[in-house]
Amino acid sequence: MEKEQVLSCIYLRAVLPLLEEVVGHDTEAANLIKGWKCSVMFHVSDGPAVTLKFRDGKCEASRRSMALPTIAMWFSSADKLNKMFEGANVIPVIWKGIWHPKILTNFIALTKRLDYYMKPSDQLLANKKDFDFIVRLMLYAALYGVKEVGENDEKMKSSIVSSIPNSTLQVVVGGGGPKAYLIKTAEGFIAGKGDAPGQVDAFMELKDVKAAYELFTGKTDAMAAIGTAEIRIRGLIPLVDGVSGLLDQLSKYLPA
């Protein structure tokens, strides 16, 4: 049961918030939310929640519930939410906003645009602009996913997280690629996009978007990539080792 609970945290707090990026990159997605001034909340019983706020053609994810969303979707179990993300015909309880059918219809179409990039076709990968964007999504999903694994997987908390010192990791994709960071604190983790605030204790630099894609998709082993300089690491090694262990565990949660 714990596995289902952790996976629901990953889907809601690491994957679904990627819609923030999709609406800024994808014309079809942008058209779907044109004129929206609303919020859509997902909530698992005794589990995680996320609220997506739409304003001025943009999407902002708040990784928590809110008091009065426009639309609220409730799942009685983590397993039901996970099955929906994996393509099963699971219908959540819409306890608020059922009278907004157009928003509901467009929101479903919007999530399909996210799926379009998270499960890309060969044709999509062949387009450089889209390929670069897909790598950006993967980087953000990886670090926000590590946060969820590190904070919710009890085995990882005792075996790995407890040994990671409070510190900051900056991850950079070379060649003008995206950046993201992960901060370990006494309370848990903080994941973010771009440059880390304050002091950085360790750096992980992926040579380019191709190297990043191959690492995130498991086509390249991390140790082998370090040996060939596809990945460069410097700084606080216990931090990098700990995050690497959490990344490995994250890959075991997500379906192939």
Q: Point out the domain boundary residue: 119, 141, 175.
A: 119
Q: Inter-axis angle of helices 2-10 and 128-152, to 10 degrees?
A: 140
Averaged pLDDT in 10-residue chunks for the chain of 256 residues: 92 97 97 96 95 96 93 95 90 88 93 95 96 97 97 95 96 95 97 96 95 88 77 93 92 83
CATH number, domain of 167, equals 3.30.1050.10
pLDDT tens readout for residues 149-190: 999 999 999 999 999 999 999 999 998 999 999 999 999 999
Under DSSP, the state recorded for 207 is S
Nearest to 132 by CA among 169, 182, 173: 173
Whether 105 and 161 map to the same domain: the answer is no
Whether 53 and 109 map to the same domain: the answer is yes
Asked if residue 126 belongs to a domain, the reply is: no
Whether 14 and 84 map to the same domain: the answer is yes
Whether 94 and 179 map to the same domain: the answer is no
Asked if residue 105 belongs to a domain, the reply is: yes
Whether 159 and 109 map to the same domain: the answer is no
Single-letter amino acid, residue 27: T
Asked if residue 145 belongs to a domain, the reply is: no
Q: Are 6 and 152 in contact (CB under 8 A)?
A: yes
What is the C-alpha to C-alpha distance for residues 89 and 31, in angstroms, rounded to an integer? Answer: 26
What is the C-alpha to C-alpha distance for residues 135 and 120, in angstroms, rounded to an integer? Answer: 11
Sign of CA dihedral 28, 30, 36, 40: positive
pLDDT tens readout for residues 118-149: 999 999 999 999 999 999 999 999 999 999 99
Number of domains in the chain: 2
Q: Tokens 């771009």 map to which residue?
A: 194
Asked if residue 125 belongs to a domain, the reply is: no
Sign of CA dihedral 6, 119, 42, 91: negative
Asked if residue 128 belongs to a domain, the reply is: no
Whether 82 and 159 map to the same domain: the answer is no
Asked if residue 135 belongs to a domain, the reply is: no
Asked if residue 142 belongs to a domain, the reply is: no
Asked if residue 134 belongs to a domain, the reply is: no
The SS3 assignment for 179 reads strand
Whether 31 and 111 map to the same domain: the answer is yes
- Domain range holding 41? 2-119
